[in-house]
């Protein structure tokens, strides 16, 4: 339980306590208490599904401050939630009870950028989009891109091993991150901010923190390799009449443009209709008729004429073979943005329509739509479709075998949830799929990990957690099953 003396200690560690410490607790030496509503932003998640009751948010400015705070919390056995941009979709970034929140937003400095190698070293709290803008001036780009880029932080991206829209081309953060600086639960600073591309000296410890969702250490610095920014982009959206056609188009696109392909996304008609009705971006449907599925492709390269020729050949082939029913190729940057908006606005539109149960799963591509259809008929059979459930939409990163199935209800309701779960997890276990492709486990799926991982793997994960965090202070009640 957080006491007055703890807040006073935090205030003494932070260089600017008046702006770096928000608390509702009254103290004699600490900063003035704030109204509880000022903590809402930090206690509630992006979906408004998970709610914590922390009374104290710390926004340290240096690794040293983070280290001293953690050392003190370790001695006092105070539980802590690391928080980045709070855009996570599994409830990992908000407290379960009254854990102290350490928000990394004030650690937002770029430490170095090497224009020859493309190696970027920065504080963990840098916003993804700001980093991308910064290195764009130097001809580089971040190797990941997400709809949440304007708010999410690179530390949060690494902590969740975020995938995103260009994973297909640039791969996982497990490959792109070169080094990390991490504060361990006892305050020790693990300085692993290497900029080396190759380094086979012992266990690659940084890999443990990538995707660890703030359970074994607080990431304070990131070293990451960034690719050259392509100068030529093409974006097209195709309408197709079946899910088989989505797969057929994927195969043809890879055969024709595999080396310049940077995204292959899909969404169903229900997603597009929802976006048209609810997205703020003023999204415009480029097609006159409705179609069951849509595919968005992006190519990027360094020679426009070369890419244009390839994309035009692809279009001819797709039309002639009737692989697609209709298609639109962006003619300028505005159209590039508006075609991307059709896909990127889906999460926001779902949030506007209602309370969204999000399932982020991976499985063999050919099974994806079966799961969406199964879910619709199951909810229908239980009398929920069109009643408590407003819509079920399927979309995602086909190129990575990653489906997002969103079930949008009028409110978060146990009566809806018990029809979806554990059914969906059992379904995925049967096809050897993953219950979390890219969003992570957080509070939502910690107890469910057994559907995707063996008891032996989970036991080793628990040992690792115990090794780093013997007092279970960092992001407790999440990520791994509790010991029952
Ligand atoms: P937070 O939400 O603050 O935290 C996420 C987790 O990481 C929590 O467990 C937290 O404790 C931990 N954490 C955060 N910072 C640190 C740190 N410095 N050290 C240790 N632990 C930390 N995800 C994808 O994979 N692909 C997508 O395409 C994608 N698109 C999205 C689109 C939208 C509109 C939204 C809202 C979310 C999307 N996400 C996506 C989900 C989300 O995982 C990412 O937005 C992002 O990686 C989270 O970063 P954040 O800074 O907001 O982290
Ligand atoms: C996406 O691909 O749009 C993100 O993962 C967010 C989401 O699934 O809602
Ligand atoms: Zn996604």
Instruction: Indicate which ligand has the atom closest to the C-alpha of 404.
Output: 2
pLDDT (average), residues 214-243: 98
For ligand 1, say whether the CB of 237 is within 6 Å of any of its atoms.
Answer: no
Count of residues making up the chain: 484
Tens-digit pLDDT profile for residues 39-58: 999 999 999 999 999 999 99
Report pLDDT digits (tens) over 410-462: 999 999 999 999 999 999 999 999 999 999 999 999 999 999 999 999 999 99
3-class SS of residue 113? strand
Residue spans of beta strands (DSSP E) within 261-380: 261-268, 293-301, 326-329, 355-362
At 484, the pLDDT band (50, 70, 90 cuts) reads low
Q: Which of 161, 360, 437 to mutate to test the pocket of ligand 2 (most atoms within 8 A of CB)?
A: 360
Strand partners, 190: 182
Whether the link from the prior residue into 317 is cis, omega within 30° of 0, is: no
Ligand 2 centre distance from Cα of residue 351 (Å): 12
Distance 404 CA to ligand 2 centre (A): 7
Q: Are 269 and 293 in contact (CB under 8 A)?
A: yes
Q: What is the pLDDT of residues 367-392, one digit of tens each?
A: 999 999 999 999 999 999 999 999 99
The response to whether residue 147 sits with its C-beta less than 6 Å from ligand 2 reads yes
Average pLDDT, integer, range 247-265: 97
- The CA-atom distances, in angstroms, between 124 and each of 128, 155, 180, 193, 219 are 10, 4, 9, 12, 6
- DSSP sequence for 147-161: TTTTT-BHHHHHHHT
Give residue 262's pLDDT: 97
Q: How far is CA 473 from CA 22, 186, 365, in A?
A: 20, 10, 39
Q: How far is the CA of 146 from the centre of ligand 1 (A)?
A: 10
What percentage of the chain reaches a pLDDT higher than 90? 98
* Averaged pLDDT, 462-480: 98
Instruction: Find out whether the beta carbon of 124 lies less than 6 Å from any atom of ligand 1.
Output: yes
Closest to 420 measured CA to CA, from 378, 452, 392, 370:
378
Asked if 311 and 253 count as a contact pair (C-beta separation under 8 A), the reply is: no
Q: Which atom of ligand 1 is nearest to the CA of 82?
A: 11
Checking if the pLDDT of 38 tops 80, the result is yes
Packed helices 346-353 and 269-278: angle between N→C axes, nearest 10 degrees: 70
Spacing, Cα 120 to ligand 3 middle (Å): 24
**Ligand 3 center from residue 438 Cα (angstroms):** 7
Radius of gyration of the CA atoms of the chain, in A: 23
Tokens 């190698």 locate to 117
Whole-number Å distance between alpha carbons of 318 and 108: 46
Angle value at C-alpha 111, between 106 and 117, nearest 5 degrees: 140
Q: Rounded distance, CA 139 to CA 473, Å? A: 42
Q: Could you tell me if the CB of 446 is within 6 A of ligand 2?
A: no
Per-residue pLDDT band at 187 (split at 50, 70, 90)? very high
Residue 432 and residue 422: Cα distance in Å, rounded?
15
Q: For the chain, give me the number of helices (H) and strands (E)?
A: 19, 16
- Within 10 Å of residue 361's Cβ, how many Cβ atoms? 25
What are the tens digits of pLDDT across the range 46-105? 999 999 999 999 999 999 999 999 999 999 999 999 999 999 999 999 999 999 999 999
Residues 160-175 have pLDDT tens digits of: 999 999 999 999 999 9
pTM above 0.90, yes or no: yes
The dihedrals phi and psi of 44, each to the nearest 5 degrees, come to -115, 145
- pLDDT tens for 306-320 read 999 999 999 999 999
In tens, the pLDDT along 289-304 reads: 999 999 999 999 999 9
Per-residue confidence (pLDDT) for residue 475, from 0 to 100: 98
Nearest C-alpha neighbor of 88 from the set 482, 480, 475, 481: 475
pLDDT of the residue at 280: 79
* Distance from the alpha carbon of residue 164 to the mean position of ligand 3, in angstroms: 5
Residue 211 C-alpha to ligand 2 middle, in angstroms?
Answer: 17
* Helix ranges, 279-322 (H): 304-320
ipTM of the complex: 0.99
**Contact (Cβ atoms closer than 8 angstroms) between residue 293 and residue 240:** yes
Q: How far is the CA of 16 from the centre of ligand 3 (A)?
A: 37
Determine whether the shortest distance from the Cβ of 219 to ligand 1 is under 6 A: yes
A 10 A CB-CB count for 65 gives: 23
Ligand closest in space to the Cα of 48 = 1
Task: Ligand 1 pocket test: pick from 44, 50, 93, 166 the residue with the most ligand atoms within 8 Å of its Cβ.
Answer: 93
Q: Report the mean per-residue pLDDT for the chain.
A: 97
CA of 304 to the centre of ligand 3 (A): 28
Question: How much of the chain, in percent, has pLDDT values that exceed 70?
Answer: 100
pLDDT of residue 225: 98
Sign of the alpha-carbon dihedral angle for 137, 143, 147, 151 = negative
What is residue 483's predicted lDDT score, i.e. its pLDDT? 82
What pLDDT does 457 receive? 98
Instruction: Output 33-41 pairs: Cβ under 8 A, ≥24 positions apart.
Output: 41/86
**What pLDDT, on the 0 to 100 scale, is given for residue 415?**
97
- Distance of alpha carbon 13 from alpha carbon 16, whole angstroms: 9
Report whether 208 contacts 159 (CB < 8 A).
no
Predicted confidence at residue 30, as pLDDT, reads 85
Quick one: which ligand is closest to 181's CA? Answer: 1
Say what the pLDDT of residue 281 is. 67
Candidate from 54, 147, 152, 163 with most ligand 1 atoms within 8 A of CB, to mutate: 152
Give the Å distance between the CA of 439 and the centre of ligand 1: 7
Task: Give the number of whichever ligand sits closest to the CA of residue 146.
Answer: 1
Which ligand 2 atom is the nearest neighbour of the CA of 397? 2
> Each residue of 318-334: pLDDT tens digit?
999 999 999 999 999 99
- Which ligand has the minimum distance to the alpha carbon of residue 144? 1
Nearest residue (CA) to ligand 2, atom 2:
396
- In the reported structure, the alpha carbon of residue 164 is separated from the centroid of ligand 2 by a whole-number distance in angstroms of 8
pLDDT attached to residue 279: 82
DSSP letters for 408-473: EESS--HHHHHHHTTHHHHHHHHTT-BS-SSS--HHHHGGGGGGTS-HHHHHHHHHHHHHH-TT--
The β-bridge partners of 315 are none
Does the CB atom of residue 30 touch ligand 2 within 6 A? no
Pocket flag, ligand 1, residue 83 (CB < 6 Å): yes
> Does residue 84's CB lie within 6 angstroms of at least one atom of ligand 1?
yes
Q: Is the CB of 404 under 6 A from ligand 2?
A: yes
H or E segment at 222? strand 218-225
Tally Cβ neighbours within 10 Å of residue 78: 21
The residue whose CA has the least distance to atom 5 of ligand 2 is: 164
3-state secondary structure 118-131: CEEEEECCCEHHHH
Q: Give me ligand 2 centre to Cα 439, in Å.
A: 8
């Amino acid at each position: 339980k957080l006491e007055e003396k703890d807040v006073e200690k935090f205030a003494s560690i932070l260089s600017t306590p008046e702006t770096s410490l928000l608390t509702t607790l009254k103290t004699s030496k600490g900063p003035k208490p704030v109204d509880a509503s000022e903590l809402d932003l930090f206690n509630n998640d992006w979906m408004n599904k998970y709610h914590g009751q922390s009374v104290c948010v710390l926004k340290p400015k240096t690794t040293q401050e983070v280290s001293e705070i953690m050392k003190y919390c370790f001695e006092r056995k105070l539980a802590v939630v690391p928080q980045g941009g709070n855009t996570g979709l599994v409830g990992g970034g908000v407290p379960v009870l009254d854990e102290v929140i350490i928000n990394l937003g004030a650690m937002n400095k770029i430490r170095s950028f090497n224009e020859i190698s493309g190696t970027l070293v920065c504080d963990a709290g840098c916003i993804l989009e700001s980093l991308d803008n910064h290195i764009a001036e130097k001809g580089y780009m971040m190797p990941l891109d997400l709809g949440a880029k304007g708010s999410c932080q690179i530390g949060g991206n690494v902590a969740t091993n975020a995938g995103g829209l260009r994973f297909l081309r640039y791969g996982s953060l497990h490959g792109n991150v070169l080094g990390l600086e991490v504060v361990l639960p006892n305050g020790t600073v693990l300085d692993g901010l290497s900029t080396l591309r190759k380094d086979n000296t012992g266990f690659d410890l940084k890999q443990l923190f990538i995707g660890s969702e703030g359970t074994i250490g607080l990431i304070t610095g990131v070293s990451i390799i960034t690719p050259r920014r392509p100068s030529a982009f093409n974006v097209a959206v195709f309408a197709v009449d079946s899910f088989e056609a989505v797969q057929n188009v994927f195969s043809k696109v890879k055969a024709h443009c595999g080396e310049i392909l940077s995204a292959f996304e899909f969404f169903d008609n229900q997603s597009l209709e929802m976006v048209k009705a609810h997205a703020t971006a003023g999204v415009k449907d480029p097609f006159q008729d409705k179609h069951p599925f849509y595919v968005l492709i992006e190519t990027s390269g360094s020679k426009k004429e070369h890419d244009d020729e390839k994309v035009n050949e692809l279009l001819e082939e797709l039309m002639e073979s009737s692989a697609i029913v209709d298609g639109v190729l962006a003619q300028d940057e505005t159209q590039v943005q508006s075609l991307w908006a059709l896909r990127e606005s889906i999460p926001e539109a779902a949030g506007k329509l209602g309370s969204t149960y999000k399932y982020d799963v991976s499985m063999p591509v050919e099974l994806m739509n079966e799961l969406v259809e199964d879910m619709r008929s199951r909810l229908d059979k239980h009398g929920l479709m069109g009643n408590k459930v407003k819509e079920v939409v399927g979309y995602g990163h086909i190129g990575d075998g990653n489906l997002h199935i969103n079930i949008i209800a009028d409110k978060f309701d146990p009566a809806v949830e018990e029809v979806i779960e554990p059914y969906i997890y059992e379904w995925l276990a049967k096809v050897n799929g993953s219950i979390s492709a890219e969003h992570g486990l957080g509070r939502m799926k910690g107890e469910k990990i057994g559907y995707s991982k063996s008891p032996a793997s989970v036991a080793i994960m628990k040992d690792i957690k115990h090794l780093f965090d013997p007092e279970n202070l960092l992001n407790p009640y999440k990520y791994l099953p509790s010991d029952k």
